[in-house]
Structure 1
Amino acid sequence: MTSSPAGARRLGLALGAAGAVLFSAKAILAKFQYRHGLDALDVLALRMLFSLPLFLLLGVREARRPGLAPIGRRDFGLIVILGVLGYYLSSLLDFWGLEYVPVSLERLILFLNPTFVLLIGVFAFARRVARREWIALAVSYAGVALVFVENLRVEGEHVLLGSALVLLAALSYALYLALSGQLLKRIGSLRLVAWAMCVSTAATAVHYLLVRDPAHLLQLSPTAYALALANAVFCTFLPVTFTMGAVARLGAGTAAQLAVIGPVSLVFLGAWLLGEAITAVQLLGTAVVLAGVWLLTRPAANSVPVAATAGQGERDAD
């Protein structure tokens, strides 16, 4: 028995909203992990290792779907590049930046991904941009600047380094989005996410083995492992499946717009769970950023596709 269109839409909205909040909550869990003696590389390594079996199973399931084109040698090469850019480098820089900035500022900077994709299209592919898009860009960056200056006043100068790292993380992920468009059409979004995460896990493992003794990961507290497992399952794997479910029921445009819930939720979750400062200026800046990105990601509003399906699939790793 098929569900009604209204029921499918409600389910899609619930899945999209849950995915956005869970993706954002990754930053909260990372902050808690830092309190147990872990750093950015430890957090990333545990996240990747714990989520790897789930993404392997997802990749195998997607590979067995009828009608999907086989992945060629060239596609595998591109998957390696995308996995390193989108899920290893971007995630490492993001977790590193979280050592210095509050979660609300981190999520706002990452939320600029569509604007970076647009700018990459302008400078790398000579795409034309409408005036309203430039206005949306200006609004978005003005809002981030407002929140940044307020956090600099409240948190101190370490916000400079942390913001720069998160900005580089957002740029790295924007490169992933800009390069993934055609591949997404050929192999499918879930299959791309699954195999790119496997590549990212391998890159993280190599990095860890080069600079750390892996025995360190076997000497952590039970709480540290529990937080890492929650990060892998609830803030990495489940949001991917939730967001793809929302895209299937609502379309990529509507599902992408639900991502605005993430930065808003972190403003309040950061204050509640981590005791981070929250001021009227931060709230105003957050509203300005959300308005600018909303203008840019409306259906048919972009000269350059923002790859909403892929972007929401792992805005972290959001």
Structure 2
Amino acid sequence: MQSTKQFWFGIGLGVLGIVLFSSKAVMVKLAYTYDVDVISILLLRMVFSFPFYVVIAYLYRNQNKSIETEKRDYAWVFFFGFIGYYLASYFDFVGLTYIKASLERIILFLYPTIVLLLNKVFLKQPITKIQAGAIVLTYFGIVLAFFDELHISGAGTITGGIFILLSALTYASYLVGSGWLIPKFGVMKFTAYAMLVSCVCVFIHYSLFSETDIFSYSWEVYALGFLIAVFATVIPSFLVSASIKMISSSNFAIVAGIGPISTIVLAAIFLNERLTLLQLFGALVVIVGILLVSLKKPKKPKLR
């Protein structure tokens, strides 16, 4: 039986992982103040992440070896690595050139509702009445925060919001589609493979379309690239995996509600961002909605 001490340790790991993940948007916005373009900072993130995932892929190469995999399974790994970590990251980084880090996290936090909708459409999984109401509540919160910011910052908010929404959609698609692949490969092995695919995609993107010299930036850009890779990508991915294993995914979904809050706090400290009262209320509505979405329908007791 799980001890109370172990449970709270799992909670602590989850909170730390979510806060580190949330710091990514803030550090990307800080990098943009040094006139770095989107693909360059994304490249630095992947360059510094790449060695870690190579090592992980090697260490876990024999994980789930007893389960037979086919060539098409590896094709799907490539596809979901492409959309889940390359496209989702690219859309997110582009969106951050237009909108505040705190608003980015609020919009990105929609991905659990998108997962539910995609599961309903493609996998015919039912949505409970509580979850349906929560989805409506969540999008209402987004509308409040988004249109208030639109009134303040202008049309660029629409462009940024669309890119962040695309990021949430592609990441949710990755979560839905990868669900049946993870049992075949194992969590660590699958994640490492998918991340390596995304790294290669970014390398190709940079080599084909970028005209900037990656060695021309100040040391602060490289430091931020390293921090984004290690402390906002690699380390939190392990912390989150460990937390879910210790406290369950349903409990972790509640812990994840700290994500937008931590981003708002970090953005206020390091970027001097401020949300209006209406935006804060919208963020609260979104968080409550996501927590309700995460509630599972209780199972009916079996008759004996």
* Interval of TM-score (by shorter of Structure 1 and Structure 2): over 0.9
Structure-2 separation of matches of 1:66 and 1:116? 29
1:243-294 Cα distance to aligned partner (Å, 9 max, x none): 0110121111112221111101111211221011222111111110011110
Structure-2 separation of matches of 1:211 and 1:66? 38
In structure 2, what residue type is equivalent to 1:81?
A: F
Alignment match, 1:156: 154
Q: Secondary structure at the match of 2:180?
A: helix
Alignment match, 1:257: 254
Q: Is the 8 A contact 2:63 2:186 kept in 1?
A: no
The reply on whether 1:165 has 2:163 as its aligned counterpart is yes
Structure-1 separation of matches of 2:206 and 2:298? 42
Q: Is the 8 A contact 2:63 2:189 kept in 1?
A: no
Q: Is the 8 A contact 1:55 1:194 kept in 2?
A: yes
In structure 1, what residue type is equivalent to 2:242?
A: G
- 1:126 is displaced (CA, Å) by 3.4
1:33-88 Cα distance to aligned partner (Å, 9 max, x none): 11111121111111011101011111222224476636532221111000100000
Structure-2 separation of matches of 1:186 and 1:234? 28
Question: Quick one: which of 272, 276, 286 aligns to 2:273?
Answer: 276
In structure 2, what residue type is equivalent to 1:53?
A: P
- 1:6 is displaced (CA, Å) by 2.1
Structure-2 separation of matches of 1:105 and 1:73? 41
Structure-2 separation of matches of 1:49 and 1:257? 32
Question: Quick one: which of 192, 195, 198 aligns to 1:194?
Answer: 192
Q: Write the mapping of 1:234-313 to structure 2, written as runs, cut at 5 A.
A: 234-300=231-297
Structure-1 separation of matches of 2:256 and 2:22? 9
Q: Write the mapping of 1:107-146 to structure 2, written as runs, cut at 5 A.
A: 107-146=105-144
Q: Is the 8 A contact 1:295 1:301 kept in 2?
A: no
Q: Is the 8 A contact 2:131 2:295 kept in 1?
A: no
Number of matched pairs:
299
- Percent of pairs with identical residues: 34
Alignment match, 1:306: none
In structure 2, what residue type is equivalent to 1:122?
A: K
Alignment match, 1:233: 230
Q: 1:66 to 1:191 in 2, by over 3 A?
A: closer
Structure-2 separation of matches of 1:295 and 1:112? 12
1:84-126 Cα distance to aligned partner (Å, 9 max, x none): 0000001000000000011111111111111111111222333
Return 5+ residue gaps in structure 1 as ranges: 303-318
In structure 2, what residue type is equivalent to 1:245?
A: A
Please give the root-mean-square deviation of Cα atoms over the aligned residues, in Å. 1.8
Structure-2 separation of matches of 1:208 and 1:271? 32
Alignment match, 1:308: none
Taking structure 1 as the reference length, the TM-score comes to 0.89
In structure 1, what residue type is equivalent to 2:154?
A: G
Alignment match, 1:105: 103
Structure-2 separation of matches of 1:116 and 1:71? 29
- 1:153 is displaced (CA, Å) by 2.1
Q: 1:47 to 1:154 in 2, by over 3 A?
A: same
Taking structure 2 as the reference length, the TM-score comes to 0.93
In structure 2, what residue type is equivalent to 1:217?
A: I
Q: Is the 8 A contact 1:154 1:277 kept in 2?
A: no
Structure-2 separation of matches of 1:223 and 1:164? 29
- 1:132 is displaced (CA, Å) by 1.8
